[in-house]
Chain A
Amino acid sequence: MTYVNVRFDHKAILKLVKPQSTVLELGCGTGDLLSLLIKERSVRGQGLEIDEQAIYACVAKGLNVIHGDIDSGLAEYEDKSFDYVILNQSLQQIKHPDSVLTDALRVGRKVIISFSNFAYYKSRLQIFFGGRTPVTGALPYQWYETPNLHFVSVTDFIDYCRLKNVRIDRRMYISENERIRLFPNLFAQTAIFLVDRGL
């Protein structure tokens, strides 16, 4: 299947989602991924988003979206309410990633997490040689305007999963619209994990 004008990371996430499933996307933005999942996977989708203007965009796309922040908005769902809970580039922007991930694993049977890899080699070079907080394609913000509250690398996330008994079902590493297979913590700009409680 080919998709025109679909983001590479969205296509990767699409591959992880089974047809006819239920999806909660935390920080769904203007709803591009959720729309794609509904169109291509016939999922029953629900979004959660903090930005009011993004809500209007989602509603215009016919999406179900709830205006609110992720940190408190997730707690209100019952256990196993969704087949998938998706955090697409929103993990770095939430106040309490640990409690959100714990809750996401409670609310969703599976959780899909995508984030920008802070240990990407270009970031490392900028820190090491430039002595500056890195600004890259996947992390394009200056330190004074970044919405990101946390920085996480591929290895950090794998360590976290080991520490918290989170089972990694699948992992995908991406850079410049290509899959990365070797040394992902060095060469991946974006990492996508499919995780669960392994029960």
Chain B
Amino acid sequence: MKTKKIDKREDGVGVVEAQFYTIDSLTLENGEKLEPVTLAYETYGTLNENKTNAVLILHALSGDAHAAGLDVEQKNPGWWDSMIGPGRAFDTNKYFVISSNVIGGCKGSTGPSSINPATGRQYALDFPIVTINDMAEAQRRLIDHLGIDKLLTAVGGSMGGMLALSWLVRYPDRIRSAIPIATAIKHGPQQIAFNEVGRQAIMADPHWNSGNYYGGPLPAKGLAVARMIGHITYMSDLSMEEKFGRQRKIGTEPFKFTADYEVEGYLRYRGDSFVKRFDANSYLYITKAMDNFDATEWRPLQDSLQGLKTKVLVIAFKSDWLYPAYQSKEIVKACKRSGIETTYCEVDSTYGHDAFLLEIEEETHLISHFLKKVFHEYEAA
């Protein structure tokens, strides 16, 4: 694909500040009430007069609201910065881009590490089980608050794709289109199994203490191991071969179970750095929400989509073995059966599941043209 030269883009959206919206009360799927609920979000670009240019970006398991630009403190770029900005896939000269965190998380939104108003202490495991649909419901309230009747699209990869599907099934009249990327209608046993190993690693850490570790030592080793497992599943054998091979680290003594190989050092580094930015209980809650998600919970997906005017763009990646393309094809199949307008592309990538964060050129091409069409149709309607 040589249609666009990414390096000739204009600059990004610059320094952005997180915003927060607090909902007085949110009734969860299990009937429990969460009061109050805060949602962290960022916005880029400007909402037009008719409010027809809003896009909702949905992050993955370990993501946050900081999708684009540089954050105020660390000056870190957002997790999808190469996709969002002037002239990029989500062109902030045209679109008003909203990136929302999820409830249950630990990046500014209400989650297990937030203070429970009833006790004055962190919720820990008193935090209710939240679902992907609960996360989407909180986001819908945010979109209400922003005064937007219809989003141009709800888009995300991995868990973000599940959120996009939740929007599609539950709030189809609130979106003109949905873009689920590298995702699934529901987790299969292999996906649940990997998440369970991650959860067990956290819970096996003596510092986890049944979730009550706030103010004390963190279950850092457990969370790091969970993240290491995660990273293995995000790559492909080919991308690991290309990145590390059997390259040994310099200056390590052999046979002392130090990180002898580059790949070991990489995983340890990734695990340790994750601990600094993510809450172990949030990891438990969010992975459980992903495992419990099923877009066909109430009825077949094709029935949910029947008669909708919503357009769907599904993207999968060939080497993604965590969310294999056949799972994306299940979404496409439901779209076909329901008769809604569908575009599907299985991008030939070697990056594994991580591809949705890395195959910028292909995603930019697919999304920018798709969105242009959706916007044009919305404006004409």
Interface on A for B, CB 8 Å cutoff?
44, 46, 52-53, 55-56, 58-60, 62-68, 76-78, 81
Contact = CB atoms under 8 A, between A and B. Distances in A.
A82 B81 CA distance: 40
A52 B345 contact: yes
24 contacts: A46-B341, A52-B346, A52-B348, A53-B1, A55-B345, A56-B3, A56-B365, A56-B366, A58-B343, A59-B343, A59-B365, A59-B366, A59-B369, A59-B370, A60-B365, A62-B372, A64-B341, A64-B343, A65-B343, A65-B344, A66-B336, A66-B343, A67-B345, A68-B344
A44 B336 CA distance: 14
Nearest to A74: B336
B243 interface: no
B238 to A, nearest CB: 18
Given A52-B345, A56-B362, A62-B376, 20 more contacts: A46-B341, A46-B342, A52-B347, A56-B3, A56-B366, A59-B366, A59-B370, A60-B365, A60-B369, A63-B343, A64-B341, A64-B343, A66-B332, A66-B342, A67-B344, A67-B345, A67-B346, A68-B329, A78-B339, A81-B336
Contacts of B365: 56, 59-60
Contacts of B336: 66, 76-77, 81
A81 B341 CA distance: 12
B337 interface: yes
Mostly, the A contact residues are mixed
Interface string B330-363: 0011001101011111111000000000000010
B199 interface: no
Give the interface centre of B1, B332, B343 by most chain A CB atoms within 10 Å. B343
Chain A CB count within 10 A is highest, among B1, B345, B362, B373, for: B345
Given A60-B369, A66-B343, A76 B3 contact: no
A66 B344 contact: yes
Interface in B56-95: none
Interface of B: 1, 3, 311, 329, 332-333, 336-337, 339, 341-348, 362, 365-366, 369-370, 372-373, 376
B342 A60 contact: no
User: 4 tightest CB-CB pairs across the interface, nearest first?
Assistant: A62-B373, A64-B341, A66-B344, A76-B333
B339 A81 contact: yes
A43 to B, nearest CB: 12
Contacts of A68: 329, 332, 344
Contact of A76 (B337, B347, B376): B337
Contacts of A81: 336, 339
B317 to A, nearest CB: 11
Nearest to B367: A59
Contacts of B1: 53, 56
